[in-house]
Structure 1
Amino acid sequence: MSDLRSRGWFDAPSKNGILHRSWLRSEGLPDDSFTGRPVIGIAQSWSELTPCNAHLREVAEHVKRGVWQAGGVPFEFPTSSIGETMVRPSAMLLRNLVAMDLEETLRGNPVDGVVLLAGCDKTTPAYLLGAASTDLPSLLVTGGPMLNGRWRGGTVGSGTAVWTMTEDHRAGRMTDADLAEAESCMSRSRGHCMTMGTASTMALLTEVLGMQMPGTAELPADDARRRTTSHLAGRRIVEMVAEDLRPSAILTREAFENAVRVNAAIGGSTNAVVHLLALARRIGVPLDLDDFDSLARAVPTIVDVMPSGRFLMEDFAYAGGLGAVLGQLGDLVHRETIGVSGRTLDDAYAGAQRWNTEVIRDLDEPFQPAGTGTAVLRGNLAPRGAVLKQSAASPDLMVHRGRALVWDDYEDYLRDADDPELDVQPGDVLVLRGAGPKGYPGMPEIANLPLPAKMLAAGVTDMVRISDARMSGTSYGTVVLHVCPESAVGGPLAAVRSGDTIELDVPGRRLQLDITDEELAERLSSITPTPWPATRGYQKLYVDHVLQADEGADFDFLVGVEPATIPRRSQ
């Protein structure tokens, strides 16, 4: 492998080569580590503050075994790690930071290929973004979902159960003791959320995009096969370096179309929309918001997994996983795309079986019919679009007109929602604004507002909610998300007043504030945009440069690919 990028370090003449080699010898490396073996980076998002990724050091050891076995030299390195369960205001605020961290680490070091170890919601897309920008041979390994939560003889799903149980607790249907007991039963193994939240969704979409080894995304974190497949991933990345198989050859328009359609089939997270848009813009593939509606219209939801359905990811894995889904989708996906395995989608999943027809349904007897995936809405409230997850919404609210109740601050809403005197009716439309990429900042997962206590006591289980924020992939409800442009940059959402009438027509893909164009323009002319008042550090960089949701909420200066070359010498 005479053209290895790492040789620019280790074959350097005189003191430069001596410096690079001698300092690494302190790690106990033999001489032939510097004589043409491919150097494989293992990007590590392990952190004890990221519970979903807390087992990735063990995964890294299995990857290393495979790299050594195949003749490579592995180097594990850390990046920033972000856990959606811990980080405030949102891990999304730091997604671009992790992507930059990875990108600059790859650019500045003698790495020929990289294995990306991720799992929690934003670590997976962050690593994909950084790898796409450098375009080195790259392979992603996710940590896998937790085992099913078990409580009082039934299953409970991480995230999804949090929303349902806290609502029951606020309504007085669940005691403090019940809630504490359920909490301890919900996350009972290593791994990320075992519902079809963003972590599981992005793991599966990474695999169908071709950036993860076939048949690995759905394996539970504590399944021994995950360690085996991690070992095999270590072997495979060495072969990819020899083949010069890069993300730019894998992440094609056809691969993105497959991901959009599979997202509809699995009832995947709306967060996938933002991440796939950002990734496509990084790699230079044309993809826009409307593609998520038009490409998915012919695809039914065939996976019965929470939050849309009943089962959990462990059940999905044992039912046949992604391979079984692709088998049902047939010609709805492009079957000649190439992945990190070096094989076509058709070859990689040849022989995949389906073992449970309740969890993974037939295409002609789906869990939900075609056209019930992500809906892209437009109208005078969202001229650049908004999204709604139909599979998680209430059918009786898909066409709705109601009185708007507006909040500019999430904490204010939470206070008011518990007020028994709040003036709210079941048909009202709850509006939260100031929560988009520039407004909060980071576009947090707060759009699925908890229902007012007064409504819960009356037995109301869903209301229309509208926001420029996101919602967790584990959540559910008739929630309009990612309203674009956001209110903080002067988007029409900023002009809504409590008492206005809002019309939602999901079949017609329409979101409309019932005032004239002239009145809307007059209201907006008197409003001063109010981005988050960041004054320093990364938050200021973020607010100054983040793009809107329909552009993936990436940074304006990171769009596009700049392949990693050998940097200038430092000595």
Structure 2
Amino acid sequence: MTRKTYDQLRSARWFAPDDLRSFGHRSRALQIGYDHADWQGKPVIAILNTWSDISTCHSHFKQRVEEVKRGVLQAGGFPIELPAISLSESFVKPTTMLYRNLLAIEAEELLRSHPMDGAVLMGGCDKTTPGLLMGALSMGIPCIYLPAGPMLRGNWKGNVLGSGSDSWKYWDERRAGKITETQWMEIEGSIARSAGTCMTMGTAATMMGITEALGLTLPGASSIPAVDANHQRMATQCGRRIVEMVWDDLTPSRVLTRRNFENAITVAMAEGCSTNAIIHLVAMSRRAGGDCAVSLDDFDAFSRKVPVIANIRPSGDTYLMEDFYYAGGMRGLMKTLADGGLLHLDTMTVSGQTLGQTLEGAEVYNADVIRPLSNPIYQEGALAVLRGNLAPDGCVIKPSAVAPHLLQHSGPALVFDDYPALKAAIDDPDLDVTPDHVLILRNAGPQGGPGMPEWGMVPIPTKLVKQGVRDMLRISDARMSGTSYGACVLHVSPESYVGGPLALVRTGDIVTVDVPARTIHMDVSDAELARRKAAWTPPPRRFERGYGYMFSQHILQAHEGCDFDYLETGFGPAIGEPAIY
């Protein structure tokens, strides 16, 4: 591999020439307090930091960025921190998914417009991982991802609590009258105990693991708990490594192939991934270009041959991400898959080694947390893709988190046109509903939500909760939190807001879901559907100005990854380097 020289670096075009424009760049750097020795002969490293005062998952990033800088300096680079939108999943309304592409745009343009030779991407909370990576892949300079890591286990009166999963569980118990207000408040103060992402196998843990499987993190980085000293050392190692990556010109295009993305899908299935993994990985693969693009069909094909072996909630019953780390973490899980012939070991990683080389010496220390392939917690993968006259472009369910009797189910639809109507009805003691009903929420997709909020885990009606019902079939064009569980069919595509078949179903129609057969069907004739379609009126436009207006004009459907059409690799030629005048 031929190493770059200083005059070949992007940053040298800003700082090195003896001209008036570079004089301005140097003088302004001096104004900040830097010296010529800070940048002369060195690569400039961007540290894209998604820290903010309200980003709970990234609250430790204020310190971690200093540890990244230390590593960059140790390796002879010049670190520059660039703040990026934080996208705090816990607080942003209506959903951070509305702003994932905004972060992708910001990441790409921050790197393109500044004198940056490489980047450390600091993320972890659900949409920050795909947002940062999508932008960095489009930009194309060397980059390495620093995952935030999971928080510590929750604990209430000796009971281990998991983010999200136990919130839903105990909320139902409170609605059923089995948890007091005092106990509920105790749980509230016990479930999130430290910095870091959700410690269940939610979207954050899923996407951090996928990124390691892609080869875009240091080996083992994705499962280190956020407050573990190993996480601090990993941050510094990221800083050192990105400097070497710049000199070696190890860009994403030299790391990623379709085989990397197939590894990512394999790991997603084995770890019991969030349903959100499909949307994000499809979008990332389409940004990577070439033959990298994956589809819903790829996910379904891999789900039939890759079992769930990570015994982590919500697919598992007991363990959380802290346990997963102690059991061998992502390297242990991938070593298990590799020994079973399920991974491409010749794929490159940002470490400069192949995946196979990075897995040498990896072990599993607790075979109940990371199961052998011969003893999975679920025989097929975590996700299944269904198609039929209700979802011609596909929809998604997480079979490993579904009550078994609902994997094949027919029942009458109970339809809600929006989330406020759903919420108002769910607690109605006189609601005409039985456990056999199929609850349907529509107008909650990419355009209808707007932004495809996490409304897909439709609550069980209170009257049924009090009868002991804890799962029933629910269908929507929304998403759900990766920490959720239950018989929720999600991402129905095309969405109802743009006239997809979900817009045509009526209360009382018989709906059938057959997960083993991968089908979803409403028992309505084609002629009747055509009559309903002719009578359908599009809902009013959600946005009239600003970012939301742009979003609604360009957002793709769920099966296409919900990227903006004009940001995908195939939309048009890539922009060249910015001119320096």
Q: TM-score range by the shorter chain?
A: over 0.9
* Separation of aligned partners in 2, 1:112 and 1:215: 25
Secondary structure of 2:547's counterpart equals helix
Identity between Structure 1 and Structure 2 (%):
49
Q: Does 1:568 align with 2:579?
A: yes
Question: Bigger CA drift: 194-203 or 3-12?
Answer: 3-12
Give the Cα separation in 2 of the matches to 1:295 and 1:213.
25
Q: Give the conservation status (yes or no) of the 8 Å contact 2:282–2:293.
A: no
Distance 2:540 2:218 in 1: 41
Q: Give the deviation of 1:27 after TM superposition.
A: 2.6
CA contact (8 A) 1:438 1:531 kept: no
1:292 is aligned to: 299
* Alignment map for 1:420-499 (pairs within 5 Å): 420-499=429-508
Q: Runs in 1 of length 4+ with deviation above 3 angstroms?
A: 561-566
**Range with bigger deviation, 25-34 or 107-116:** 25-34
CA distance in structure 1 between the partners assigned to 2:225 and 2:446 by the alignment: 33
Residues 267-294 of structure 1, C-alpha deviation per residue, up to 9 Å, x if partnerless?
0101010000001111112311111000
1:408 aligns with 2:422: no
CA contact (8 A) 1:106 1:564 kept: no
RMSD: 1.1
- 1: distance between equivalents of 2:96 and 2:36? 42
For 1:257-406, what aligned pairs fall within 5 Å after superposition? Answer: 257-284=262-289, 285-309=292-316, 310-330=318-338, 331-369=341-379, 371-406=380-415
Residue aligned with 2:273, SS: coil
- 1 CA distance for matches of 2:203 and 2:541? 26
TM-score in terms of structure 2 length: 0.96
What's the counterpart of residue 245 of structure 2? 240
Return the offset for 1:564. Answer: 7.1
Q: CA deviation at 1:48?
A: 1.4
Q: CA contact under 8 A between 1:103 and 1:130: conserved in structure 2?
A: yes
**Offset of 1:35 from its aligned partner?**
2.1
Is this contact kept in 2: 1:440–1:532, CA < 8 A?
A: no
The aligned amino acid for 1:354 is V
- Asked whether the equivalents of residues 50 and 58 of structure 2 are also in contact (C-alpha less than 8 Å), the reply is yes
- Residue in 2 that maps onto 1:109: 114
CA contact under 8 A between 1:489 and 1:529: conserved in structure 2? Answer: yes
Please tell me the residue identity of whatever aligns with 1:467.
S
Matched length: 569
Output the CA distance in 1 between the equivalents of 2:525 and 2:27.
Answer: 72
CA contact (8 A) 2:168 2:484 kept: yes
Q: Deviations over 1:68-115 (max 9, x none)?
A: 010100000111110111011000000000110111111100000000
Structure 1 stretch 137-146 or stretch 517-526: which is displaced more?
517-526
- Provide the secondary structure at the position in 1 that maps to 2:536: coil
| Structure 2 match to 1:552 | 561
Task: Tell me if structure 2 keeps the 8 A contact 1:201–1:268.
Answer: yes
Gaps of 5+ in 2: none
Q: Does 1:541 align with 2:550?
A: yes
1:107-134 per-residue CA deviation (whole Å, 9 max, x = no partner) reads 1000000000001100111000000000
**Corresponding residue SS for 2:62:** helix
Check whether the contact 1:145–1:193 (CA below 8 A) recurs between aligned residues. yes
Question: Could you state the TM-score of these two structures normalised by the residue count of structure 1?
Answer: 0.98
Q: Which residue of 2 aligns with 1:249?
A: 254
Q: How many Å separate the matches in 2 of 1:550 and 1:282?
A: 15
Deviations 1:335-391 (CA, angstroms, capped at 9, x unpaired): 11111101111101110111111111111011111x242110000000000010111
> In the aligned structure 2, how far is the partner of 1:296 from the partner of 1:341?
28
Unaligned runs of 5+ in 1: none
Shift of 1:36: 2.2
Task: Check conservation: 1:290, 1:376, Cα contact below 8 A.
Answer: yes
> 1:327 Cα shift?
1.6
1:565, distance to aligned residue in structure 2 (A): 4.8
